[in-house]
Structure 1
């Protein structure tokens, strides 16, 4: 992708919300993630997580309340980790437009290839889909507001279209969500070239100033 412009790069995780706490908190999340991938969400119990983490069951319940809250915490932390990795990969970009388009490709590919999502979409789609479409509004809201903030920075630099930033951010997020959850088609998150071709053909003209 072109890097001819010299506007500030698009950062994706400078002010991520803190989902982690102390080491015990992280051990619970690590255990939950591992068990959800290995056994699925439906079969994994809070007791299983406590045993795997080497932490008392009462402690797990005190920190997360129930399995639903634990699932949401695990997903939120994985989103944060994913955004942090994307930010590192964008450091070489000097054009906000190029960085935004690259972020779309990386986010789409990364979400589709995540082992937790891949496992659950294959084995328990009826269980995971509500979390990804209805039960995690805080993730979508944060992502939209954060992405809109970065779009406004690019607009001020004259590198992005002046279309409403929040609408542009939500459009990108909904496109990514659709591609990840319905991957079969001409544009497939399993095929990087098709995602890049779509990004260059349709998103670049739409987002360019």
Structure 2
């Protein structure tokens, strides 16, 4: 029996359709039938690739969040210490992630969807970000701008800090007090990251 080949263009069309469905009605009210209709493909096309909505939405989250987080990273600049580039990129990525409409919708309507990635296992987007951070840390070790330590452990610790800011920051901010607003906490995160990574 020949393995099923997946057309990347078709996959992207389905992922786009799933994203629009979730933005419209949330994860719980999205069905694979709705996604197939919006994507203009048969239900069987989707079922062959994704067994259920949660698996499909997991792939949507991976695509969207890796794209937005890594897209916020500045271009590599050999004239600047790697630590500054990494810190600036992580803070910019946090801003972009927290503003992402898919994250906002899930936090508003289906926050329980995120619980497995906080308590049980890492997801593909977390692994992709860890790989990026580990590589940046190793570069910072080499140029002397980042404290030399176990890069995998350092990366995981950084991601834990980032996740708390990304998912819980709204519980600590106050709209009426600029000293407790988003911008102030972004500055605080920058300070934490700089002090954590400095040699």
TM-score, normalization: structure 2? 0.83
Choose from 130, 134, 150 the match for 1:164.
150
Match of 1:119 in 2: 105
Cα deviation for residue 187 of structure 1 reads 9.8
- Of the two structures, which has the highest relative contact order with CA contacts closer than 8 Å and spacing of 6 or more? 1
CA displacement 1:21-46 (0-9 Å, x = unmatched): 52211110000011111110000000
Return the structure number with greater helix share: 2
Cα distance in 2, alignment partners of residues 98 and 177 from structure 1: 20
Choose from 99, 104, 115 the match for 1:130.
115
CA displacement 1:100-126 (0-9 Å, x = unmatched): 111221121121111011111112222
Match of 1:45 in 2: 31
Choose from 40, 62, 67 the match for 1:54.
40
Contact 2:91/2:189 (8 A) holds in 1: no
Q: Report the number of matched residues.
A: 187
Superposition pairs of residues 26-175 of structure 1, within 5 angstroms:
26-87=12-73, 89-91=74-76, 94-126=80-112, 128-133=113-118, 134=120, 136-175=122-161
The RMSD of aligned alpha carbons is 2.5
Cα distance in 2, alignment partners of residues 105 and 79 from structure 1: 14
Mean Cα displacement is larger for which, 48-57 or 116-125? 116-125
